Structure 1
């Protein structure tokens, strides 16, 4: 009876919102999500939410709203008997899923500006801290949104939502969630016979396998993804996958193969006039040259990245680290130390980047076993907590050092 009286006290638009809120994935939502759902400006949506809170049909905490199970059940019951009709429900859900896609894409563009997406993204809505906070708060809703998009007949939205999430999933090493959402996205793309979606999701699956240490599975998936990208004619997508594949070759100490892949990707990126892909290819090529013991050639490539004004901190930091390693190969520890100091001044989004700094510093202090071990232990702890396959090799190195 209390819920019935509360509902009767609402204005018509607030009643509509009350019913539509059952469509929201996850346990809580923001005013922006509610505005997308009812297709109203924020200034008109906020008073409706205030009504629902005043009637205790919603609760508000830390700028997020929650519809408790009793209110949700009531909303389902009245929606069967009154407006909105089912014809209005489907567009509302589509708007909400599109809002999650747009916002996740904007947030991921801030976290990794050089990550290639099948559709252009905007980085204007977030700072890096806000982007991480938004993903952390919405991760459960995003997971359900991926599955929901497939279930209600929006396969393209399904795989695009996964694509928008991927930079954050990789940054946080959320392998279980990555595996789950890429599985739904791949199935949706296959069902829709969407070759672009299949190529994107297979590239994502390969990168997940690589980061988890399954090099054989990653190589197989990358090769298949390249075939799919070739069929689509989307050469930027082909270059993106080629760069990821080349990084697999580097991790497997096949730097000669990696070098050829990076060179091909660089040529494609320049043809497509995609500066972000070009910078990633230059950075990877420098790493491959370094792995082949050619520090001067490596520095030539890496300087293309370090001197570019558009290079974001997430790419600039590893570039400086590899440049430091190149100077160590050239037996120039002073320049190496200077570059590591520059790296220390950059904001760090990926904790593994800090481990890479410590690994090079360990090499820099190889003449001092105590300092060397300190840096190796720090790197090992980060890599182990991140599930990085290099942790095992580093543990063996520490065992050999003893102490």
Structure 2
């Protein structure tokens, strides 16, 4: 087979055996660019279409994608036999996947080199690996495709990854005293990111460390000029400190200065998209930028408080401001909508906001404390020493904001609220930035920016009337502009006349009553929709989430996704919703309130009830499918088939299931509460059941216990003995995971009584295993053994082979922990044969892990290593990162006991990265091992 090499870190190119492949038309090159940016992962047809055509794809878009892929296959695989099998471009996940690896795709090789660099204990080797990784970048990512496509998030994310790697490489080189190795690569990255002050500062230190002080000072002058020209700012503290270090001849050699610790968690970048239509607010933006410190390090947290009425543009200004200065906060940006004036009245508790921030900062869910004060303290600790930007949008009052403030200098906090937040200004030193109505010239500027100067100049009197009747409210002007943009032939005079006809209501725009102001304009925009889009808009008011995915919207409307997409596009064009991420649509909170009003006042009760039922079916059936993909051996519950018009997400694999559950988790939790409140008991316990595996693997222990208590209450009202027994058993498992084994056993006992009455031997066995696990938590392996032996007998009597395999494995594990590995080995071997016969790879992995422990106990280190390695491979293939990390920890233990400290350290570091990066539980089990290992090496070196 010919050797292939694909590049996207620069021009999109392909070589076959040193000869470049002709990729054909630009559209084919763009399709390949998207697949390369997500190499090894499925890319859905919808995503490819969105990248190529944006919001207005042609009717033939999907066929065009298929044709482009066909042409690419002919170019990449000239041999017909190979092409028919799809060696490089394969169908996957409702779209296509480029099946490359680190030997064939530059992006994957780049990431492999990074992994090797971060795991390498030798400083010099580490720097060399960073240099090799950066050398793979040959220009702007996807440099040969159209500029408007290169600017899309899928490619912008790769640019951010490149810049973060350049900073990390510079730190490693300075710490190792080898600045020359990465100097040119870091310089290339700095040239491509001229406003990244953290990167520019590191380049200055590298130049100085290689004896090029003059070049370092020239770089400072260039950075200062660029910041002043583009942002109106002086260089921040980091660039200023680097200049001072270059200037002071007595300062320590920069190459000898230890590099800062590189965080394990990815850089947080949560800011929403910078609005391309931002206009006006010159004075307010200047006041905001003036808050930032100059060369000197800030003495405290900088807080800017933007206040004003609904629709005045608070969020727009805050997000634009944040994007302009984000480069000065190299540790990232946090963002949360606090729903302080949510139309549903569901103000976000600061405790929930803290939980989201802590998860984003890499804190595992099980480590997040329950109390508000404890969460706030941990949050302040996580931000200590970091320079981050925190945007708190739509705050209710000072009490909601105060727990979310960092505790040390170096951070910028932006707050938006309809309230003036006088307490935040008086007690916390916030600088107020009140927003008023647009003056007429800025209102006119907004219309020019969105409609073009010629359209506005065609009828200046009508434009003046429109600006006047909108009374300077930016949101009202934006909706008028959207109305005009959707009908380019509509004279501005007609728009002015329509506003004039509504003058009795539009006059309220001058009263400062935000609800009536905006609702009036919304009603006008709503009436411009066609009947189908207007119906969809009303029904979206039934959705409880922060945003709505396409298939949920399709289920609400009872339409196929292809029919609902044009309607969503019309809602976007008229300014009623925004597509803030591909295929996910969000409301302004007042628009959501207006939609909720309409669905209850306009939509017939029967239609509203049917739409709500379809939405619940969409979430329940998709969540059920996701749950079974995450745990294929789990016995499914029986659901009523979804009714006509319900669309279920076509989740194809575990990765898709995990992504969907992550994106929809808040909405699913809201549905559990909503269904319980409505007395929909059967749906309540069914939906709680679907979330069980996800919550356990993601560490959402408190939510899991709460859901299981809700499900138990629903089961009691249903009075179905089987459902009630299941609910007791599931709550027992949740409580065990939450560290409440005694309470868990009371529910296991109730479940066991129920299953005995039902004569269900297999479920009795499940409970016995659960009881055994509750004792394992406390280290009572004798009781684990006893209950798993009972489970074995029950499984044999019931003919339940999968359960029998699990019980045998747990019996073998218990014997091992009791110091009798030779008694455990035959049980685990029996279990392994059963798992393999049944095709249960997850169970096979668990068995191999147990056999690793057995051979470790027998001091057969080579055999223990083989079993653990195979267990790790299977867990990784099954997507169970928690257990993958657990097996890696035990594999490291074997290496350590065998006297191979280097191998142990390497494996433990991989385990730590998995746990920290994927929010899995108990990373603290790894760090002490690494600390002890480092201590032993230090002592040995002395």
The two structures share one fold, judged by TM-score above 0.5: yes
* Residue equivalent to 2:773: 247
Q: Secondary structure at the match of 2:859?
A: coil
Q: Give the alignment partner of residue 322 of structure 1, picking from 850, 861, 881.
A: 850
- Once the two structures are superposed, residues 287-335 of structure 1 have per-residue CA deviations (whole angstroms, 9 ceiling, x without a partner) of 2232344434433332344341544443333321210111223332221
For 1:23, what is the secondary structure of its paired residue?
A: coil
Tell me if structure 1 keeps the 8 A contact 2:895–2:904: no
Residue in structure 2 matched with residue 361 of structure 1 by the alignment: 892
CA distance in 1 between counterparts of 2:637 and 2:600 reads 39
Residue aligning to 1:68: 588
Q: 2:882, 2:921 within 8 Å by CA — same for their partners in 1? A: no
**Residues of 1 paired with 2:754 and 2:545: CA distance?**
34
Structure with the higher strand share, 1 or 2: 2
Q: Which runs of 5+ in 1 are unaligned?
A: none
Report the counterpart of residue 525 of structure 2 in structure 1: 6
The answer to whether residue 854 in structure 2 is matched with residue 335 in structure 1 is: no
1:96 is aligned, of 601, 604, 615, to 615
Which residue is equivalent to 1:35? Answer: 554
Rounded to whole Å, the distance in 2 between the matches of 1:350 and 1:248 is 22
Q: 2:880 aligns with which of 349, 353, 369?
A: 349
TM-score (norm 2): 0.39
Contact in 1 for aligned 2:891/2:907 (Cα 8 Å): no
Distance in 2 of aligned mates of 1:194 and 1:31: 36
Query: How do 1:63-212 and structure 2 match up within 5 A?
Result: 63-82=583-602, 84-119=603-638, 125-212=651-738
CA 1:2–1:233 in structure 2 vs 1: closer, same or farther (change >3 Å)?
A: farther
| Distance in 1 (alpha carbons) for counterparts of 2:863 and 2:540 | 58
| Bigger helix share | 1
- Per mean C-alpha deviation after superposition, the further-off stretch among 273-282 and 139-148 is 273-282
Verify the 8 A CA contact 2:805 2:832 in the aligned structure 1.
no
1:303-314, aligned counterparts within 5 Å?
303-307=829-833, 308-314=836-842
Asked if 2 retains the 8 angstrom alpha-carbon contact of 1:306 and 1:316, the reply is yes
Shift of 1:248: 2.3
- In the alignment, is the contact (CA less than 8 A) between 1:98 and 1:157 conserved in 2? no
Q: How far apart in 1 are the matches of 2:638 and 2:600? A: 38
Tell me the distance in 2 between the aligned counterparts of 1:382 and 1:144: 29
Following the alignment from structure 2 to structure 1, what is the Cα–Cα distance between the partners of residues 787 and 532? Answer: 57
- How far 1:165 moved relative to its partner? 0.3
Mapped partners of 1:123, 1:249: distance in 2: 39
The 1:341–1:79 alpha-carbon spacing in structure 2 relative to 1, beyond 3 Å, is: closer
Partners of 1:305 and 1:311 within 8 A in 2: no
SS of 2:548 mapped into structure 1: coil
Structure 1 residue 339: Cα displacement? 1.3
Looking at structure 2, the residues matched to 165 and 327 of structure 1 have their Cα atoms a distance apart, in angstroms, of 36
- The number of equivalent residue pairs is 401
Structure 1 residue 136: Cα displacement: 0.9
2: distance between equivalents of 1:194 and 1:353?
38
Alpha-carbon separation, structure 2, partners of 1:45 and 1:386: 37
1:283–1:305 contact (8 Å) kept in structure 2: yes
Give the distance between the partners of 2:924 and 2:555, measured in 1 at CA.
44
Paired residues of 1:250 and 1:291 also in contact (CA < 8 A): no
How much has 1:19 moved relative to structure 2? 1.5
What displacement does 1:66 show? 1.6
Please say if residues 295 and 326 of structure 1, whose CA atoms lie closer than 8 Å, have aligned partners that are also in contact: yes
Q: Which deviations, in whole Å up to 9, do the C-alpha atoms of 1:86-132 show, x marking residues without a partner?
A: 22222322221122111111112122222344438999833222111
Residues 372, 46 of structure 1: CA spacing in aligned structure 2 closer, same or farther, 3 A cutoff? closer
1:212-232 Cα shifts (integer Å, max 9, x gaps): 322222222222222233344
Cα deviation code 1:177-221 (max 9, x no counterpart): 212222322222223334333333322222222223222222222
Pairing 1:11-26 to 2, within 5 Å after superposition: 11-26=530-545
Question: CA contact under 8 A between 1:355 and 1:383: conserved in structure 2?
Answer: no
Higher relative contact order (CA 8 A, sep 6+): 1
Over 3 Å counting, the alpha-carbon distance change for 1:381 and 1:3 in structure 2 is: closer
Q: How many Å apart are 1:276 and its aligned residue? A: 3.9
Aligned to 2:109: none
Aligned pair partner of 1:50 in 569, 575, 590: 569
CA–CA separation in structure 2 for the residues paired with 1:86 and 1:120: 25
User: Hey, what does 2:807 align to over in structure 1?
Assistant: 281
**What SS does structure 2 have at the residue aligned with 1:345?**
helix
Larger displacement relative to structure 2 (6-15 or 231-240): 231-240
Matches within 5 A, 1:360-379: 360-368=891-899, 370=901, 374=905
1:255-266 mapped onto 2 (5 Å cutoff): 255-266=781-792
Distance, in Å, in 1 between the alignment partners of 2:655 and 2:637 is 25
Counterpart secondary structure, 1:59: strand
Q: Distance in 1 between matches of 2:557 and 2:802?
A: 37
Which structure's CA Rg is the greater one?
A: 2
User: Do the aligned partners of 1:202 and 1:222 also contact (CA within 8 Å) in 2?
Assistant: yes
Q: How many Å separate the matches in 2 of 1:137 and 1:76?
A: 23
Structure 1 CA distance, aligned partners of 2:856 and 2:600? 71
- CA distance in 1: counterparts of 2:924 and 2:768, whole angstroms: 22
Contact 1:288 1:298 (8 Å CA) reproduced: yes
